[in-house]
Amino acid sequence: MYPAFQRHATHFFFRKIFLSYSRNRLVLFIAATFVLLHASFVAAESEFGLRPEIRNFVTYMANRHGYDSKELESVFTQTNFRADIIKLISTPASAISWDEYRKRFVNTQRIKGGIGFWGKYASELERARKIYGVPEEIIVAIIGIETSYGTATGNYRIMDALTTLAFDYPRRADYFREELENYLLLAKEQKFGLLDIKGSYAGAIGIPQFMPGSYRRYAVDFNNDGKIDLSGSAADAIGSVGRYLKEYGWEADKPIAVRAQARSENLQEFLDTGIEPIHAIGKLREAGIIPLEPVANDMPSALLELNSQGARQFWLGFRNFYVITRYNRSTFYAMSVFDLAKAIRIARLSRAAGQ
């Protein structure tokens, strides 16, 4: 029995040594992994410094717009490259159905939030409608979809986002370099710190998520306080959304979209022309595409298709639908704005009738 016991004791002794060694290796592995992850994190937010292309951009801003080179160089040395932004903007959008997309934005929470936002800023919304011709519910719905009524405006420093995309995203570098230029000019005009403003990973700013170029072109001081503040003033956001849509051709008191019955053999021909309204209703009627609400035959429209619960839905989008797509060039987006706007108006009227 003794030799067997001895063998067991010896086995137990070496097993303890092995486990102790394994644990130590595990601790070392975890520590090394932590160090690598920390290094990756630091690399993901490393300072740009003054790379040659950034020096060239600083020189351009100084020569063309009179920017102080030293001041701008100092800002760029404090600007961080964000690898996560490149990943976010480069990741292909996953396929999503219209029903799934709609549920994200046309839901009880957004409708309730829209009623509250409308109630709080009723006078500003009414004034925007009178000046720009855009119904209150459309402005409310856009702000609701963009930032959930100003509660989710983004946590990325705009300077980091635009610099990352301007110099490390070749596919759209020209566009984002132009937006970076606009951002620098906007900061001068509005007198805010370049490193202070936060927004989306693509560089969109404030309650209505305007890119810097749109901010400079369309934003308005709607509360007349002497400054335009899309991040802190809901009134300025409301007026700016109204002006943006008006500048892109919003037609007051005109329809946005109507359901259609489509029996044409040439459906694809009309669908392939896209979302710009170029087909007169009379021409579509002749082709067997019939609006389900009264519409004048000379009204230009586009044939739209949505798939809901496995069935094909056909819509006719008019000029105002197309204008909404100038805010976000997606049929799903524009239809969500349209649906959320209707839902908010109906719920608001229903609540008022019940009081």
Residue numbers annotated as active site:
146
Residue type, 75: V
Reference 219, options 202, 195, 235; nearest CA is 235
Residue whose token pair is 């903007």: 89
Burial of 100 from C-beta contacts in 10 A (0-12 / 13-18 / 19+) = exposed
Tokens of 335: 């239809």
Beta strands 198-199 and 156-157 are antiparallel
Distance CA 117, CA 120 (A): 5
Residue type, 337: V
Walk across the sheet containing 289-291 and list its strands: 279-280, 300-308, 311-317, 257-262, 289-291
DSSP label of 50: -
**Terminal alpha carbon distance of the chain:** 93
DSSP label of 1: -
| Length, in residues, of the chain | 355
What is the number of other CB atoms lying within 10 angstroms of the CB of residue 30?
A: 10
Distance CA 254, CA 250 (A): 9
